[in-house]
Chain A
């Protein structure tokens, strides 16, 4: 038995050595606040109102103030909202379960239209992120995992270009800011800065947050991350 245990230990520690990778840089933490939204899954910052749009796993879109208090709730209920983006007068939301992309009026929060974006991967491994990429002048949706696919959509929300992202086990949120596309990995606790055209990773940071699901930037470029399981907003310094 001692012999077998020794073999197990040896194999394990050899693999530890083989797999060792350097630690990533961390981001400067500022503060955190509880958010009242049940099972929050993504956030988008509205520069016009300084408010946050938050979507929930229960298929509901909320508008919250920067302290996490709910200001408004969209009347329409979907199934499993996982991504949200603000652009012009629209708030765009992607439903992971039904593979639908919805447009809400930013002033009334009434649903104005829905588009079906087909994807046959696992129900909980579908579109987890939604962002607008001004560099490509396109919306993009990203599948959560197995595999992580970045799909650029045309003006009719039809996928026209697809990229496979292999630098993380999963992607839970995406946001364009200041010329770069930022991706957040929940399972790898990492924020990636990517080239907005090729989506190649240019830099990465470790985020010490449990179950990070949403990513946004405020007016000054401060990073905001939302945790689903902890129901909290986390505020960080501007990324350098």
Chain B
């Protein structure tokens, strides 16, 4: 603990030395090197009778290195990986954490046409919170609904995008493997061989609205953005075939043997340091096998061949720049299966002290389980505190 405090003090002393990425220029070709380091301590308050305290520990959350390239106004490329997550995944054993998959981006974009063409592996244009950067948030974890257990956040494929009305309107459409982050480990698609289709449109007013959670510049005009997105895949397995191991995720919802449609809406607002986001998502699942666990042993008459899941998340943030402080409150409410009674409610409160914007920040969050879904997601803990430091260069 004493060593940690010393390291922390040193970081404080040198916090103004950091700064910015590094760029190499050759004519109209620029290559930018950047990275991020973050460490936190996690403490859980366990339920009575629970003795396993393995989650009370320090964790190296990020050890990212990235290369962003640009050739004139025609080509862009990005390679970004988290070395800590790659090392963890290489060790095997634990299932892939969709929020920390190791490889984060590897793509090329052609920008010379009105519609930008992106090919490779990157974040999907689905869910406002997912598209926002993690380091721009006060919290040490994305909301449970949006961190990749209900739907994948990254995948390999083709994305087409364009902007209208001075970038107030953004339109995205793409086709992907449908395996999400697992495509990197799995390499091949699942036996169905079918892709996933994703589309999104968002509209901002009165000017373009960047994908940022916090209003760190204290914008001078009230700004709002509304978005809607949808994704669909049919991963019904051929006779005798099964989905690759581990792709279904923690809740068995990310990829199913059957048809899967997810749709969601989101809204964002910011003005003079205050910002708020809201999202709602519904998963419409049609498992192909009548004995699929998602049907929870219900009859066809009860389930009608459809299982639904989803939820909402709302968050408000206030950034007070003179005090270099941000305070956020987040509420989550989600249901893992509409055929099983119960839902989960979580409340999170977070605070960040910005030594140099969110590039160098101390962050602490507290999470409280307000309501537990005893049947679908029985937890060992009731409260969680995470405190740590992030450093971006």
A binds B: yes
**A residues adjacent to B (C-beta < 8 A):** 1, 4-5, 8, 11-12, 15-21, 38, 58-59, 77-79, 97-99, 116, 118-123, 125-126, 145-147, 169, 186-187, 189, 208-211, 229-231
B138 to chain A, nearest CB (A): 11
In the bound complex, do residue B27 and residue A16 qualify as a contact, i.e. CB atoms below 8 Å apart? no
Q: Which of B20, B25, B216, B351 contacts A125 (CB 8 A)?
A: B20
Are B23 and A120 neighbours in the complex by a CB distance under 8 Å?
A: yes
The answer to whether A230 and B34 touch across the interface, beta carbons within 8 angstroms, is: no
Write out the residue numbers on chain B whose beta carbons fall within 8 Å of the beta carbon of A186: 217
Contact, CB under 8 Å: B325 / A19: yes
Interface residues on B, range: 35 or more
What residues of B have a CB within 8 angstroms of the CB of A210 in the complex? 207, 219-221
Check B107 for interface membership: any CB of A closer than 8 A: no
The smallest beta-carbon distance between A117 and chain B, in angstroms, is: 10
Given contact pairs A1-B368, A12-B351, A97-B30, A19 touches B22 in the complex (Cβ within 8 A): no
Partner of B220, one of A4, A119, A147, A208: A208
Q: How many angstroms between the C-alpha atoms of A119 and B30 in the bound complex?
A: 12
Say yes or no: is B70 at the interface (Cβ < 8 Å to chain A). yes
Do A229 and B366 contact each other (CB < 8 Å), given the known contacts A122-B20, A187-B217? Answer: no
Residues on the A chain within 8 Å of B219, using CB: 210
What residue in chain A is nearest B25 (Cβ atoms)? A99
> Is B366's CB under 8 angstroms from A8's CB?
yes
Chain A residues touching B, majority SS = loop
For window 1-37 of chain B, which residues contact chain A by CB distance below 8 Å?
Answer: 18-25, 27-28, 30, 32, 34
Say whether B32 contacts A122, CB under 8 Å.
yes
Across-interface contacts of B193 in A (CB, < 8 A): none
A119 to B320, CA, bound (A): 32
Q: How far is the CA of A146 from the CA of B72 in the complex (A)?
A: 24
The residues of A that contact B30 with a CB separation of less than 8 Å are 97-98, 123
A121 touches B27 (CB 8 A): no
Question: In the complex, what distance in Å separates the CA atom of A10 from the CA atom of B20?
Answer: 33
- Whether A11 touches B351, Cβ cut-off 8 Å, given contacts A18-B323, A122-B20, A123-B23, is yes
A66 to chain B, nearest CB (A): 21
- Decide yes or no whether B378 CB sits under 8 A from chain A: no
Q: Are B327 and A8 in contact (CB under 8 A)?
A: yes
* Docked complex Cα distance between A184 and B322 (Å): 19
Contact B21 A123 (CB under 8 A): yes
Q: Shortest Cβ distance from A124 into chain B, in angstroms?
A: 9
Q: Which residues of A contact B351 (CB under 8 A)?
A: 8, 11-12
Known: A147-B19, A210-B220. A16 touches B70 (CB 8 A): no
Say whether A16 contacts B323, CB under 8 Å: yes
Q: Which residues of B contact A11 (CB under 8 A)?
A: 351
**Chain A positions within 8 Å of B72 at CB level:** 79
Are the C-beta atoms of B322 and A121 separated by less than 8 Å? no
Are A97 and B70 closer than 8 Å at their CB atoms?
yes
Q: Known contacts A98-B25, A189-B218; is A231 also within 8 Å of B327 by CB? A: no
Q: How far is the CA of A21 from the CA of B253 in the complex (A)?
A: 50
Q: Mark B238-270, 1 if CB is under 8 A from A, else 0.
A: 000000000000000000000000000000000
Bound-state CA distance A77–B112 (Å) is 13
**Bound complex: CA of A38 vs CA of B216, how far in Å?**
25
| A residues less than 8 Å from B218 (CB atoms) | 189
Q: Which residues from B are CB-within-8-Å of A4?
A: 349, 366
| Distance between Cα atoms of A210 and B24 in the complex (Å) | 31
Name B201-257 residues within 8 Å CB distance of A.
Answer: 206-208, 216-221
Once bound together, how far apart are the Cα atoms of A98 and B27, in whole Å? 7
Provide a sorted-by-A list of 13 A–B residue pairs whose CB atoms are within 8 angstroms.
A8-B351, A12-B323, A16-B323, A19-B320, A19-B325, A20-B323, A21-B322, A79-B70, A98-B27, A98-B30, A120-B24, A122-B32, A123-B68
B338 within 8 A of A: no
Q: Which 10 A-B pairs have CB atoms at the shortest separation, nearest pair first?
A: A19-B323, A15-B323, A19-B322, A146-B20, A122-B21, A146-B19, A229-B207, A122-B20, A187-B217, A15-B325
How far apart are the CA atoms of A230 and B205 in the complex, in Å?
10
Any chain A CB within 8 A of the CB of B324? yes
Q: CA separation between A38 and B166, bound complex, in Å?
A: 7
Q: Is B372 an interface residue (CB 8 A)?
A: no
CA distance A97 to B356 in the complex (A): 23
Nearest Cβ in chain A — how far from B208, in angstroms? 5
Sample of 6 more A-B contacts, CB < 8 Å, known A1-B368, A229-B166? A16-B325, A19-B321, A97-B30, A145-B20, A147-B20, A230-B207
Pick the residue among B73, B321, B356, B359 that contacts A58 (CB under 8 A). Answer: B73
How far is it, in angstroms, between the C-alpha of A170 and the C-alpha of B29 when the chains are bound?
25
**Separation in Å of the B391 CB from the closest CB of chain A?**
13
Contact B220 A189 (CB under 8 A): yes
